[in-house]
Structure 1
Amino acid sequence: MPRLSVVLRTPARAAEPLFARAPKAWQRGLPYVVMGLFVVSLLPTTIAVLTNDYKAGGGWAGALGVAQTVPLLLAVTRPLAAWGLILVADTLGAMLLIRADQVAGHAWPWTPMVIVGYLALMACLGLRESIRTLVGVWLVTGAVGTVLGFSQPEGVMTTVALLFVLSGVVLALTGALRGLGDAQQRIAEQESISEAERSRRTLLEERARIARELHDVVAHHMSVITVQADSAPYRLPGMPEPVREEFAAIAASARESLGEMRRLLTVLRGDGSQGPGGERAPQPGLDRLQQLVEATVRAGQPVELSLAAGVSEAAPPAVDLSAFRIVQEALANVVRHAPGAETRVSVTYDAAEVLVLVVNGPARDAVVALEGSGTGHGLVGMRERVRLTGGTLDTGPLPDGGFRVAARLPLTEPLTEPKDAS
């Protein structure tokens, strides 16, 4: 349906062709082909019928055939102008047929070819113009037919009511289709805007959450610096006075930095969403991964953990925290989207990086697709943590229906703020 809404959407500019926004070239060229076929078929038919059946002069028949059919090509880009030209030509043709030798017993004022071409024109109008314009076109069509009826020759089959009814039906159907396409396109655009805003809000929430956690990591080291700088004169007696002053300045700067960090953290926690003291608990690390896995197993999720010895001590605090949170988010996604699936968690490291790998098999029961519902915080949070530590993240479904999360977090690179990819 989204593709249909694009095809049937009202052109944004006056001379934009019908179906100009269709995704495929053949769809964009379809209106020209259809109207060209109408012209090619109606032009010789009109001339032949006017000449043979109505016994109109050959010159007049040829001129009317061209005037009544060729403007249909204009209907692809300017249907309202094409309607004006064709209506004038059809009206003039009806007046000329009054004096035709064999008009009696035939359709008048609108010949069968006129009706077919006019309905094709009405379809183009319905897909292009506003409801008010379509109503006006329909009423003018009926009015012109009514006026011509006062000059109706004897013995003809009047087609005024036939064209009036059929044109109204075509205008109503195509106008409804056009309105449906416009409505679906507006809904799709609104959903796209809402999805972009939701993703942006999720990213900002994750950044704020990570900033709160990193505060605790950095604050710990700043506190250590403050204590060491304050206690240096007592631990190292006989220190020269300039050195004492230098340590005092270091301690003062560290305390000032801690104060600034606490004020910033107060702003980040200003939403009140956390309970009293909830954010003051020590931040977890890989040394608590065993507890996390045990809690997940108790919840009914089979999880197997492989944790390299000493990885928590080898990893910097930011990497330690990020690795734990990535595993936590991955397990939460498994519980949410693949309950009961066999899951393996592996955390290894070498001199350069920590490798976090979480792989789950397919769910035992039929559930919604991985990451197919929910707020999307899981993968967004993982990507943001990995980005802030300068690492890489690889996620995706497996051929057997499972899912894989693989993160590489560097041990040696400093924590920096990478530039956005955009």
Structure 2
Amino acid sequence: MPAPNSSTGSPADAFAALLTDEGRRLLDALRDYDPAQELATATRLRREYPAELVSAALGQARLRQRAVAKFGAEDAYRMFFTPNGVEQSTRKSVAEYRAGRFAALGVRRLADLCCGIGGDAIALARAGVFVLAVDRDPLTCDVARANAAALGLSELIEVRCADVAEVDTAGYDAVFVDPARRGGRGRIFDPEAYSPPLSWAIGAARTAPHAALKIAPGVPHEAIPDDAEAEWISDGGDVKEAVLWFGTAPGTRRATLLPGPHALVGAGLPDPEPGPVGRYLYEPDGAVIRAHLVADVAQRVDGRLIDPTIAYVTSDRLVGTPYAAAYEITDVLPFNLKKLKALLRERKVGVVTVKKRGSAVEPEELRKKLKLEGPNSCTILLTRVAGAPTMLLGHPAG
């Protein structure tokens, strides 16, 4: 057995050790370990296993626990991860939805460029698509290959370590590109600073019958090419990504909400006119807002904006829609902290949900200042109505 303080070798060597029978037994033993007890756990395990293997296994166990939120426990505890892989990989529900779209288009062979640890490749293979998964980082490729094997998908996923710019995608029905959008200083907002740049990815997409490019949801609409369909995807109310599709519906803007899926396709409507706050307020899903489809929601609920610059829709009717959360409004008041505290005290409100749009007030700071007591609850929406700072009080509707 190596000495406890011996060198751990390269990251690739440490990862390879996890794939041995000994490494897998150790990972199985760490499935439910408590990170708060890591020192005691490591001390105990080093009596039985090499120190460097214990260190690698503890790191992988932590990554698997983090990955459960994206991949679910059944897959996460069979898969392998890198820190960047956990952070940047596609959530399983989103990857499965996209794989379904590709399969519905008749795609049977796809080149996954910048495949990372293989999250999208796994979903595509499970949808019956053969995937060439390409990444330039050798360790990332080792992890992707191990994941394909761990999930029984090796026959449908070929992992190739290469520069994506040098890969010939001729003979594939589709291309999927997921450029790196993080650098040494965090998130990258300039699409041309992606790795590879968005312009290269668009060029690669245009060479295939079908293609999808995963991009940041905050991409400027003017950066979207005319021959692309732009789709914004949210999962459980959180916007996860935007995708540029080629070979589908050029010029279309789409908001897709998961679970569902529920897809709202833009009709090119003008912004609705603002008007007074009605009985109901609708808060569009973030994907709807990013896709600039608030007008489409307003049309569905027979609504209007409360302010030309605010993405809140109001209506006198309650209309069920998956694309917006509805609130029944009981009070429309100019913003005044003293008046708000008195009103909530009078109504014995002890629990509030504070939401804001177009307000400088931070919800957590407001909640602390209110000093609430009582059995009742209330939703407070801090916003602007016709340009004036306003408090809307109410509760979720229907």
Please report the TM-score for the alignment, with normalisation by the length of structure 2: 0.19
Is the radius of gyration larger for structure 1 or structure 2? 1
Specify which structure has the higher proportion of strand. Answer: 2
Q: Which has the higher helix share?
A: 1
| Structure with more contact order per residue of length (Cα contacts < 8 Å, sep ≥ 6) | 1
